[in-house]
Amino acid sequence: MSQPEIPGKLPAVLDLAPGTYYWCACGKSKNQPFCDGSHQGTDFEPTAFEITEQKRVALCVCKHAGKKPFCDGSHRNL
């Protein structure tokens, strides 16, 4: 499998409303950390995740987190 691009080495800390979101796994999206369809033609697929109540989250932007789509500090080792 291909390696994702690394669009940033810090998480995206966002306040998200309830809903379903699609996290970019390939690193090519111009709408980081969310998918914009740029993965077409690659080995990657976006990761869907559900937010059930308004909350602040830290989403991985380096694409190497072990708990995708959430940041786990893996960017410190890149």
Structure-derived torsion over alpha carbons of residues 48, 52, 57, 58, reported in degrees to the nearest 10: -20
- The pTM is what? 0.93
Interval 10-47: pLDDT, tens? 999 999 999 999 999 999 999 999 999 999 999 999 99
pLDDT band of 2, cuts 50, 70, 90? confident
33 contacts 75 by C-beta, under 8 angstroms:
no
